[in-house]
Amino acid sequence: MIEIGSYNNLNFKRKTYDGVILTDGEREVLLPAKELISYEEDQEEFFVFVYLNKDENLVATLERPFACVGDFAYLTVVGENEKGVFVDIGIDKDVFVPAREQKRPMFKGDKHVVYVYLDERSGKITASSYLDEYVDVEVGDLEEGDEVSLLICERSELGYSAIINNRYIGLLYHNEVYEELEIGEEKQGFIKKIRENKKIDLSLRPIGFDFILESKDVLLEIIKKNGGVLKLGDKSDPEEIKQQLKMSKKAFKQVIGGLYKQRLITISDFEIRLVEQTGE
C-alpha cells in the first residue's frame, strides 16, 4: 500500500512523455521526467517520497524532504493565504498549515517547529504547531538516565520544551542549562526524571556519577590546555563558572573535589593547579 507523505519502494511499470509510472501493484504514481537525470533504463525499483500535487494526483520524488508524515521538524513559512500558511519541506510541493492548527499566528519568513501529519479528509500532507496534541503521553520505553535526541521547540519562563526522540515532549529548566539554545536546534540530552504525571524533566548532561566521571576528564584537559592553571576556585562566582565550563558551581565543586582526592590538582579560592606527577 502506497503511503502518502512517506518513503515507498515502488516498481517500474512504464515510461511516458511526462516521466515514469511507478506502482505498488495496485495504484500508480508518476515520477516526473525532470527527476530522471540519473535514471537507468533497466532500473526496476525506485525508493521515492510520495505526495499529492495540487491536482490531487499521486506524485513521486527522488528528493529527500526535511520531514515525513509523523515527524516533528523546524520549517520555514514560504507563503500564506486567508486560510493558513505554507511551509517548505524541501520538495516542489509545500505543506499547508491551516489557521486552526497554528498555536500562534504564522507569517511568511517565520520558522516554527511543527508536526507533519496526513489530513484524513483531503489525504494531503498537513502540519500543526500544536505539538502537545501529537506527542505520546505514555512513556513506557523511556527510563531515567537514557540518552535521547532532542529538538528544541519552545522557550517559556520555566525553560525550554524539547521533542524527545521525535515522539515525546520534555522540559529543560533554565537554571540547569549552561549554554545558549535556539528554537529548532537539535541536541543530545538525557532523561533526568519521569514524574508521576508523566511529565519529563531533561538534562543536557549525563545524570549522576557518569556526569562526574566525564566532567573530570574534560576539566583536566582544560587545565592542561591552560598551562596547568585554571583561574577558577572554591570562591569563584557561579556565573563565571557557568560561562567558562557550562556547569553549575555545585557540579564544579563535585568535580574538583574528586580530582583533589585523587591528588591530581590543588585548589585555592580562585585558582586550580595541576599537581606535578613524579615517577612517570
**Contact assessment for residue 117 and residue 134, using Cβ atoms and an 8 Å cutoff:** yes
Per-residue pLDDT, 209: 44
Cα(250)–Cα(12) distance, integer angstroms: 63
**Do 72-132 and 7-61 have the same topology in CATH?**
yes
The model's pTM:
0.76
CA distance 277 to 99: 66
Query: In this predicted structure, what is the pLDDT of residue 280?
Result: 47
**CATH 1.10.1740.10, domain 147-203, yes or no:** no
- 163 membership: H or E segment, kind and range: strand 159-164
Model pLDDT, residue 198: 87
- Cα–Cα distance measured from residue 171 to residue 64, given in angstroms and rounded to the nearest whole number: 30
pLDDT in tens, 218-238: 888 888 888 888 888 888 888
> Which candidate, 138, 141, 189, places its Cα nearest to that of 164?
189
User: What does R_g of the chain's alpha carbons equal in angstroms?
Assistant: 26
Ordered by start, the domain boundaries in the chain are 7-61, 72-132, 147-203, 209-274
CATH architecture, domain defined by 7-61: Beta Barrel (2.40)
Sequence-distant (6+) residues with CB within 8 A of 269 are 233, 234, 235, 236
pLDDT surpasses 70 at 10: yes
pLDDT digits (tens, 9 = 90+) for 82-124: 999 999 999 989 999 999 999 999 999 999 999 999 998 888 9
Residue 210 has pLDDT above 70, yes or no: no
Q: Answer yes or no: CATH 2.40.50.140 is held by domain 72-132.
A: yes
Cα angle 266, 272, 273 (rounded to 5 degrees) comes to 65
CATH 3.40.50.2000 fits 209-274, yes or no: no
